[in-house]
Structure 1
Amino acid sequence: MKENVARIRRLLEESVREKKQLDAEERSRRAFELFEFNTSLPAVDTSARARGLRTVARIVGWYAWAGPEVARQLDRGGVATVDDLDDDQVIELVARMRQLEECAQEGLDSPDAPVAR
């Protein structure tokens, strides 16, 4: 009986010690998150090309159009990645994605769709 009581006390002491350790870890984690939140963000490339690529990424992410439209522009440019597109090709891709976004927002068919009869 005494062994059981001693064992239960030991288990309770261990759980309290673990709880204190977790609380300290949680406080450290929160302090780091607060520090990370309050530190300045890295500089953002504000070139027209970078803004265009971010626009494409936003539209592609929002409408889940990652495959066909981007691949179409890559094929037209004869390149393997979006980073390999030249500035004019990026401008074309941005214009195309904005056109498709407008069609989606207005409830219109794709500009490539056959004419309805």
Structure 2
Amino acid sequence: MTDHYRIIRKEINLTSEELERIQELMKQEHADQFSPFVRQKLMDLVEGRQSVADWITLWQSQKIEQISRDILRVTVLAEQTHQVTAEHLRIILTCVQELMVEVEKAFPLSPDFRGKYMGG
């Protein structure tokens, strides 16, 4: 029986700084071998998976920053008064719903999630 695939070797050129950054990321993710690690990262990109950098960009948008500030403001108010009112919960719910709308622009939400948490 013959193999249905063969190993294809490709060469990439990296600067020493790029290699250091990749090796640091490998340490953080407890990866031992360079080739499988880089191959998986490339396949993640090919398959359309979003990277941490995409999340950082998303969080930097002014809309999401404002939502975070609103939630923090309500949290601080609730802590100061030592109570959580229905109004506090409505404000937080509105913030979370707005956040989900922003997130969905980059990451489509499943129909199950939409039905359960977003009413549609």
Q: TM-score range by the shorter chain?
A: under 0.3
TM-score normalised per structure 2? 0.25
Structure 1 or 2: more helix by fraction: 1
* Higher RCO (CA 8 Å, separation ≥ 6 residues): 1
TM-score normalised per structure 1? 0.26
